Structure 1
Amino acid sequence: MIPFESVPSFTAVPHGFFGRQGGVSTGDFAGLNVSHTVGDDPAAVDGNREAVANALGRRPLVTVKQVHSTRVLTVDLQALPDPVIEADALVTRRTDVLLGILTADCAPLFFLDAENGIAGAAHAGWKGAVGGILTNTVAAMETLGARRDRIRLAIGPTISQENYEVGEEFKSEVLNQNGKAGFAFATSPRGKPHFDLPGYLAAEARTLGLAQITDTGLCTYAEPARFFSHRRATHQGTRTGRQIAVIGLA
């Protein structure tokens, strides 16, 4: 059985934050790499994706081409969307599909209004977070009939503030887009700013009035045996895979 992290408040629906453990990829991508765009063997990636879907109920797995945007795609009753469609969040009322988000330091997000039977998943790097991916995903769920005061949010394995050192230019750009984001920065002993991505997202969710916010508190950079991390691979001069977060409806 492939291991994954689950969230107690989401146990009514199939879901899981998968890491790199399990799977059949080798080398830099060893384990459960689910990305076709990093240089891994396509057959291995397909096998890993199939194993993930099987772990959560053998339903079709819907993914998109993530581009650090704030676009949300609604998976409706028509044919399943082409995986090359550019978007960074998915929402649905369908009970026969699984929504998948790929990450390797950015935040994978689950949304659930269990009472109205609506789920969502989003990929939030700093650009998406500051640009409004949370707001847009909640709005798309509301269009389907969700109520934000019933929507639960779960923040999956993400690079922690401790390991997310950024530059002053980065900090200025974030503050230019959101002048209230200063709380998300801390200065290290080296004098460099560090950005708290999951903390920023949790604060945005509170501002939106969501019902419940859960942060797994897991850092992708800090656990190389457990998670893929783009930043860690960059520091080491290697390649890395992508892990997947998957949610469906019961």
Structure 2
Amino acid sequence: MNQTRPDPVRSPLLAKAPGIRHGYFTRIGGVSGGIYQGLNIGTGSGDDQTLVAENRRRVAYWMGVPADHLLTAHQVHSPDVVIAREPFAGPRPQADAIVTDRPGIAVGASTADCGPVLFADAEARVIGAAHAGWKGALTGVLENTVAAMEGLGARRDR
């Protein structure tokens, strides 16, 4: 078992946002092996779910939230966005972006060859994460993420 800690890539722009912690996580610091080597947090993958849970716990710890407060959707290459007000009860919703205005909730998007896009309005304290594959990007997942954030009080001009 790998005992190193996750070491995410951080955006200099988002790093300036007070009170908002973020990271683009790589394989570093995870416990999965084989084709899932490293920090696999994909609950829908064929990886051992005990290892996935440990990887998610490590990411959540880095983010400063309990493991059940690290929210990721069941990504389906869509323009759909979920507004998260609390941890999901039951199965993860099918969507390709999640937004929240609740402190203590971390949102994420898992990617391989698609783009992970993080959003934040520090003044409104609204964050979002989108999985931008070509289908979702073409059909508006990024625009819909911004619109959902605006519905929570964010402003695109900040």
Would the alpha carbon gap of residues 41 and 18 (structure 1) be closer, same or farther in structure 2, given more than 3 Å must change? same
Counterpart CA distance in 2 for 1:70 and 1:83 is 19
CA contact 1:63–1:83 (8 Å) conserved in 2: no
- Equivalent of 2:100 in 78, 92, 98: 92
More helix by share: 1
- Equivalent of 1:120 in 116, 128, 145: 128
Structure 1 length-normalised TM: 0.57
1:83, distance to aligned residue in structure 2 (A):
4.3
Question: What runs of 5+ residues in structure 2 fail to find an aligned partner?
Answer: none
3-state DSSP of counterpart to 1:104: coil
- 1:78-89 map, 5 Å: 79-81=86-88, 82-89=90-97
State the match for 2:8 in structure 1: 4
Question: What runs of 5+ residues in structure 1 fail to find an aligned partner?
Answer: 151-250
State the match for 2:25 in structure 1: 18
Q: How many equivalent pairs are there?
A: 148
**2:34 equivalent to 1:27:** yes
Larger Rg: 1
- 1:176-206 Cα shifts (integer Å, max 9, x gaps): xxxxxxxxxxxxxxxxxxxxxxxxxxxxxxx
**2:68 equivalent to 1:68:** no
Structure 2 length-normalised TM: 0.89
1:36, distance to aligned residue in structure 2 (A):
2.5
1:147, distance to aligned residue in structure 2 (A):
1.0
Counterpart CA distance in 1 for 2:44 and 2:140 is 26
Q: How many percent of aligned residue pairs carry the same amino acid?
A: 49
More strand by share: 1
Runs of 4+ displaced beyond 4 Å? none
Counterpart CA distance in 2 for 1:116 and 1:84 is 26
Identify which of structures 1 and 2 has the higher relative contact order when contacts are C-alpha pairs closer than 8 Å and 6+ apart: 1
Q: Aligned-pair RMSD on alpha carbons?
A: 1.2
State the match for 1:132 in structure 2: 140
3-state DSSP of counterpart to 1:5: coil
3-state DSSP of counterpart to 2:98: strand
